[in-house]
Amino acid sequence: MPEPTPLMLESFEQLAKHRRSIRHFDPRAVADELLMRLLDCARWAPSGYNLQPTHFVLVSDLAIKMRLFTACMSQRQIVEAPTIVVFVGDRRAFQHNAEAMLAQERAAESISPEYETLLRRVLPLAFSHAPAGLGWLWKALLIPVAAIFRPVPSIPAVHQRFWLAKQVALAAMNFMLAAEAAGLATVPMEGFDERRVRRLLGIPRWCIVPIIVPVGYAADRPAGKTRLPLAGMTHRDRW
């Protein structure tokens, strides 16, 4: 992989500033090979402990999209865009992915024995709900007490949805920027009935759906957006 250069930064700046949320799509299908490349970019987003809890549900069947349209508050981009990517977070990522991730890291020599030992000690504390699914409760009660005496991080077992939403959002942003680079349009959506979306798409009950992203070719591209000045949101050393 080449070392980053100022030219690469300039290209990325243009990409980030050019991306827009597009709500009107033309009917051209996106090639499956291209979609897989975009999802692969999303797959490489960072995630806490490298647990990679994000899944992607691709919806292109018109009959399913029409039902998804209702669950998404009748927003027309659901039926206009050729493909809808439903970003899903797995509450059981620790149980489902930890051993496979550690095995891959060992095989790639990307993890030291010392760090693996640390992860094996920390991950159950951070994620396990044992015993009887109530482990989060004692952790929730213990954290405020422990925080009196030492800094305590947010514990995913207690703030699970908050932790998952952050991981999924990182993957979704990678996907949207990759789509922009490929000449495609996207729009991140939060306006939907999550329970209905999960039920419609057969998403397991232990998963959450933080964001839905239609992707396709823009029917039109709106005028430039604005942003508040950087100076008003930048703070040095303290607020």
Q: How far apart (Å, rounded) are the C-alpha atoms in residues 171 and 167?
A: 7
Question: Residue 214 pairs with which residues in a beta bridge?
Answer: 84
Q: How far apart (Å, rounded) are the C-alpha atoms in residues 181 and 213?
A: 16
Consecutive 10-residue runs of the chain (239 residues): their mean pLDDT? Answer: 83 94 95 98 97 98 98 97 98 96 97 96 86 64 77 80 96 98 97 98 97 96 87 96
User: What b-and-e string marks burial along 16-54, b requiring 16 or more CB atoms within 10 Å of the CB?
Assistant: eeebbebbbbeeeebeeeebeebbebbeebebbbebbbb
* Claim: this prediction has a pTM higher than 0.85: yes
Q: What is the DSSP letter of 213?
A: E
* Nearest alpha-carbon partner for 184 in 31, 79, 60, 7: 31
Domain 19-90+159-220 sits in CATH at: 3.40.109.10
The predicted structure's pLDDT at residue 136: 63
The predicted structure's pLDDT at residue 25: 97
The predicted structure's pLDDT at residue 134: 62
Q: How far apart (Å, rounded) are the C-alpha atoms in residues 197 and 224?
A: 32
pLDDT digits (tens, 9 = 90+) for 2-43: 777 888 999 999 999 999 999 999 999 999 999 999 999 999
Q: Provide the residue ranges of all domains of the chain, joining segments of one domain with +.
A: 19-90+159-220, 95-149
